[in-house]
Amino acid sequence: MEDQQHRTDALVIGSGYAGAIAASRLAAAGVRTVVLERGRRWTVTPRGDTFATQRDLDGRAAWLSERSPLTDRTLDVYTGVLESLDGEGLTMIAAAGVGGASLLSNATMVEPSPELFRQAFGDALDQTEMTTRWYPEARELIGCSPVPDDIWASEFYRSSRSFAGQLDRAGIPYRRVDLAVDWDVVREEMAGRRVAAEVAGLNLFGVNSGAQRSVDRTLLAGAEATGRVEVRPLTVVTAIRPDGTGGYAAACERIDERGTVLERYEVLTRTLVLAAGTLGTTRLLMRARAAGALPALPDALGTKVGNSEVITARTGMPENNPTQGGPSAILVQDWWDNPHAPVSLLNFPWVDAPAGEGWITTIGACPSPAVGTFRFDAARDDVVLGWPVDDPRVTVMAKAVQDTLDRLDAANPGSSTAFARVGTTGGNVVGGVPLGLVTGEDGGVHGCPGLYVVDSSLLHGSSGGVPPALTVAAVAARTVAAMVPRIAAVSVR
């Protein structure tokens, strides 16, 4: 394995929502860009078997591990779509694959209320600016819309309608939520012309019908079509460092689908953009500081981490369809009347719900306190996430969700709550490189000219009590818009 060096004007690490937005905008500005992605490409084919499903689990569900917190099954080691990292109080989940979290984020796109946004970001971001410009731009870039009337009225979404009726009886507000879904493909699923994926609730590890509007097939594909963006899958970045000439070097390992290293090389760049997500970006920066490559990184690195995820299940209701079509069609907005904290709930499909018992499961979010921290463990050469599960600022989230469920149960006789808990497996963890503390408004890392962060690690532990995907995209659009003119000024000849 001979070491080599490659050069590019801009280097983006990560290919999810934030990385795709960065690549698209850099391409439009004429900047030659390489995107490095540790995961493989997941090309949806007419056979409808690209991804693992809850009913057909194998190594495609986990990143180079026999274990996954989402199954008790022993898996074959493969470059699957989800990495899990055991921490102190929380197991964190992070996406892997060209398209990142857009492959499997349940496609839910929610903007928080103005009050919840200000609570999450304080003075770090202007709420009016975000609402009038950047959230609309993010929706347009991703392409999202609520479930159409004909699909909502179909047998496949009976569980969503049943849930809506229960909410009406309890007087709890809700609305159909924007989803990054191609509804024409869902109609083909309903007609039997595509494999049943969304309508069967089989979307946890990717959507085999192609209904998910993941960025590998939209934004990132458009950037590649310009000829100015090259995406390199199965490329693990192990370290970053200054290159001694005012730019940066990224140490790379090209691997195969079983994780075997095939080649090692460096990519040199004038501009380095980190879009590897909360785990990936924080890991690279903390490793660089520990190694002495970037010793002056701010003390706030690794702080302001939050996990907003709350998981619930209720039973004892009229039987709904066992497939529980997805993704989550409605968003519960118990934001104003809950005495403990604002609560958001999404009717998340549970394909293995016991038959005949009328189960409805939800995945929820509350405004998360930014009380988690990453630390670097030199012995493991990796970060460890500490999450204080018993902190009253954390446990209040479960109390708030339980209050919402209690009102639902009271208004719907015969129903009861089976469980409601703050997730100990976090797929909505954000923070670690807080905007305004570690970076400037354009995502530029303090004291490191030419080094930028544009992803979920910029958030201050919360996205305002709603799933983070749309906020991540909106913040990325904002930071990239400020960043690209500076990059183009020194890169385009």
Does position 229 have pLDDT exceeding 70, yes or no?
A: yes
Report in angstroms the alpha-carbon separations of 288 from 10, 242, 370, 452, 478: 19, 10, 23, 14, 26
Please, what is the average pLDDT of the chain?
Answer: 93
The values of phi and psi at residue 152, to 5°, are -55, -40
pLDDT band at 491 (very low <50, low <70, confident <90, very high): confident
Q: What is the pTM of this model?
A: 0.96
For residue 220, give the 3-state DSSP assignment: helix
Residue of higher predicted confidence among 348 and 115? 115
Report in angstroms the alpha-carbon separations of 384 from 72, 302, 423: 23, 10, 17
242-278 residue pLDDT tens: 999 999 999 999 999 999 999 999 999 999 999 999 9
107-137 residue pLDDT tens: 899 999 999 999 999 999 999 999 999 999 9
Does position 326 have pLDDT exceeding 90, yes or no?
A: no
Confidence (pLDDT) at 425: 62
Does position 477 have pLDDT exceeding 60, yes or no?
A: yes
Q: Which of 15-24, 28-37, 104-113 has the lowest mean pLDDT?
A: 104-113
What single string gives the DSSP state of each residue in 447-475? T-TTEEE-SGGGS-S-SSSS-SHHHHHHH
The pLDDT of 83-106, averaged and rounded, is 92
| Residue 315 burial (CB count, 10 A) | 17
Residues 6+ apart with CB under 8 A from 359: 313, 314, 315, 317, 350, 353, 418
407-445 residue pLDDT tens: 999 999 999 998 887 766 667 899 999 999 999 999 999
For residue 362, give the 3-state DSSP assignment: strand
Does position 493 have pLDDT exceeding 60, yes or no?
A: no
Q: Which of 94-98, 109-113, 264-268, 357-361 has the lowest mean pLDDT?
A: 357-361
Q: Which of 21-35, 275-289, 478-492 has the lowest mean pLDDT?
A: 478-492
The pLDDT of 21-45, averaged and rounded, is 97
**Are the C-beta atoms of 81 and 65 separated by less than 8 Å?**
no
The values of phi and psi at residue 197, to 5°, are -125, -75
User: Percent of the chain having pLDDT more than 70?
Assistant: 97
Confidence (pLDDT) at 322: 60
Confidence (pLDDT) at 1: 43
Confidence (pLDDT) at 431: 97
Does position 483 have pLDDT exceeding 90, yes or no?
A: yes
Confidence (pLDDT) at 492: 58
Confidence (pLDDT) at 191: 97
The pLDDT of 318-337, averaged and rounded, is 83
The pLDDT of 194-213, averaged and rounded, is 94
The pLDDT of 225-233, averaged and rounded, is 98
Q: How far apart are CA 119 and CA 300, in angstroms?
A: 19
Residues 6+ apart with CB under 8 A from 347: 159, 160, 163, 324, 328, 329, 330, 360, 361, 362
The pLDDT of 135-144, averaged and rounded, is 97
Residue of higher predicted confidence among 56 and 422? 56
Does position 52 have pLDDT exceeding 50, yes or no?
A: yes
pLDDT band at 316 (very low <50, low <70, confident <90, very high): confident
Q: Which fold has domain 1-42+81-143+213-301+429-493?
A: FAD/NAD(P)-binding domain (3.50.50)
For residue 253, give the 3-state DSSP assignment: strand
pLDDT band at 365 (very low <50, low <70, confident <90, very high): confident
**Are the C-beta atoms of 126 and 117 separated by less than 8 Å?**
no
